[in-house]
Amino acid sequence: MHGTSDRAEARRAAPRDVVKVRSLFISDVHLGTRGCQAERFIDFLRHHDAETVFLVGDIVDGWCLRSSWYWPTAHNAVVRELIELAQRGRRLVYIPGNHDEFLRDYAGAAFCGVEIAERAIHRGLDGRDYLVVHGDHFDLVVRHARWLALIGDVGYRAALACNVWLNWIRRRFGFGYWSFSSWAKLRVKNAVNHIGRFEEVLSSEAARSNVQGVICGHIHHAALHDDFGVRYVNTGDWVESCTGVVERYNGQFEIVRWTEARGVLDKADLAPLAQAVA
């Protein structure tokens, strides 16, 4: 066991592989679902050393866990990886979304060094103040037709199941990761219109909050633009696009796609982390 732990630690500590950034923004990991790309997410975390990590909602999928329990070793390892970041002195801010809304009752508290907040204001090195919020409060379906959102979630999970099988076949033939659900969503006119409307509403909320930008998640569509008069940043997700947003020390915000794992994660890497949480 000691040798396994040393190997995982050595892989994490390789300095030439780690990019130092000021801030990291992550959302929609959906731990507790079969579509969660936990190994890729851990690999992404290990390759980015950030002063502050914002967890912008839906990190844990309480909706799915209530209907059927699914929590493999890799999901335990994600929790341990995040706790270790806090233990190493990194600031972690968790802003719950609709799938992990049970944590909203603990806004203002901190657990294992992780701060829980309804929303946050982040002062970027680019001189902008950013509203950081998951975004579900501005989704009319979630706010006014929760039953419809729950039905849609079932259909979405079916599409993600297709992702799992399709990518198993693609790996067998030597192809990289590809998201069927993301491809389909961007070809449905109503879904594209919903994305545009969501971006406009969140940008308007930023303007009303007297800030110059908004950083959010929720719709699983990574984006960075100024189309509505403020800087709009969406972190994407870790079930379809495998994206996070980094703030570099030159003030630049950037979407990083991690669809192909840069390192090698196997059961020997994950076991020490998972056992520490169990």
Interval 227-237 mean pLDDT:
97
Q: Give the mean model confidence (pLDDT) for residues 183-196.
A: 55
pLDDT digits (tens, 9 = 90+) for 71-98: 999 999 999 999 999 999 999 999 999 9
pLDDT for 146 equals: 45
Helix ranges (H only) for 26-145 are: 38-46, 62-67, 73-87, 140-144
CA–CA distance, 204 with 188 (Å, rounded to integer) = 25
Q: According to the model, what pLDDT value does residue 26 have? A: 98
Is the pLDDT at 210 greater than 70? The verdict is: yes
Please state, in angstroms and rounded to a whole number, the distance separating the CA atoms of residues 114 and 196. Answer: 32
pLDDT (tens digit per residue) in 35-58: 899 999 999 999 999 999 999 999
Q: Are 212 and 204 in contact (CB under 8 A)?
A: no
Q: What pLDDT sits at residue 27?
A: 98
Lowest mean pLDDT among 24-33, 77-86, 161-170: 161-170
pLDDT at 241: 87
- Going along the chain from its start, the domains and CATH numbers come out as 2-277 (3.60.21.10)
Task: Report the C-alpha gap between 214 and 128 in whole angstroms.
Answer: 10
Q: How confident is the model at residue 188 (pLDDT cuts 50, 70, 90)?
A: very low
Mean residue pLDDT of the chain comes to 82
pLDDT of residue 138: 85
What would the pLDDT profile of 109-161 be if each residue is shown by its tens digit? 999 999 999 999 999 999 999 999 999 998 754 443 343 344 445 555 555 56
The model's pTM: 0.78
Confidence tier at 170 by pLDDT (50, 70, 90): low
